[in-house]
Amino acid sequence: MIRLYCFEHEGVPRHAAEREGTWRLVEGDIFGEWSEGPEIPSEGARVLAPVQPSKIVCVGLNYKDHALEQKKPLPEEPLLFIKPSTSVIGPGDPICVPSWAGRIDHEAELGIVIGKRAYRVPLQETQDYVLGLIAVNDVTARDLQNKDGQYTRCKGFDTFAPIGPCVAVGLDGRDLSVRAYVNGQLRQDSRSRELIFTIPELITFITSVMTLMPGDIISTGTPSGIGPITPGDSVTVHVEGVGALTNRVVLQ
């Protein structure tokens, strides 16, 4: 397995491929032809969002325990909504919460990074379109969600989509731990085997509706245990094999 990080190198964003703790500069395009270049130090590197998606396609109520928590029936088809590209931030960047928006929640999720243009992908071919896996925090203004009855505003604020810390290439997503911690306290703890709709099913379903571009992310849903975050908190989403994505919460 290779973990692809994006970091600031000599003043510009570059990718590095990490194997067993060793970083090597990526030469080429991670969505096309690339190779591993010279070894570089990782100490002190400012890690950035590993990709810049044109959109994040999120799946609602994709864990049975979360549907129960929300007192909603299990969906017959994936429930989709989109977070805009402007909501994306990287590891260490602040989640900026509006003072007027009411309760703001964390939602730990496993994300799928699309590796090439995908439209109407057959179920048996979905893996060919996956670059790798990533951690996502689907930050949500819960009071606004309940007020609006739909998800665009409550999920779409700037900084409400932390992603990272890397893209894990070659990682099997069928049974990975997905956890959330707030100030070091475990809040969410499940495994991707509990997904109602699997990764291949989601790719096929979503690409029957829309084209996914290289770097786009499918965020597969959150397990039970969602809860409020407030300014001053530190929030970590940890996905097994991907690593820990940590962001602090600040008042906008």
Judge if 134 and 23 occupy the same domain: no
pLDDT tens digit string along 147-180?
999 999 999 999 999 999 999 999 999 999 999 9
pLDDT at 20 over 90: yes
Judge if 127 and 12 occupy the same domain: no
Alpha-carbon span 20 to 18, nearest angstrom: 7
Which residue shows structure tokens 């407030």? 230
Judge if 95 and 10 occupy the same domain: no
- Structurally, the chain folds into a number of domains equal to 2
Judge if 31 and 54 occupy the same domain: no
Q: How many CA atoms lie within 13 A of 176 on its CB side?
A: 26
Strands (E), 126-240: 130-137, 140-141, 161-169, 177-182, 185-191, 217-219, 227-229, 234-239
Structural domain that includes position 27 = 2-47
Task: Retrieve residue 14's tokens.
Answer: 């570059």
- Write down the H helix ranges in the chain: 64-69, 142-148, 152-155, 199-207
Judge if 38 and 73 occupy the same domain: no
Phi, psi of 58 (to 5 degrees): -105, 155
Q: What is the mean pLDDT of residues 37-63?
A: 95
Judge if 41 and 59 occupy the same domain: no
Q: What is the mean pLDDT of residues 49-55?
A: 98
Judge if 100 and 171 occupy the same domain: yes
Judge if 162 and 72 occupy the same domain: yes
Judge if 130 and 190 occupy the same domain: yes
Judge if 132 and 18 occupy the same domain: no
pLDDT tens digit string along 76-132?
999 999 999 999 999 999 999 999 999 999 999 999 999 999 999 999 999 999 999
Judge if 11 and 103 occupy the same domain: no
pLDDT tens digit string along 233-245?
999 999 999 999 9
Judge if 147 and 209 occupy the same domain: yes
pLDDT tens digit string along 194-247?
999 999 999 999 999 999 999 999 999 999 999 999 999 999 999 999 999 999
Give the mean pLDDT of the chain.
96
| pTM exceeds cut of 0.85 | yes
- For 72, other C-beta atoms within 10 Å of its C-beta total 12
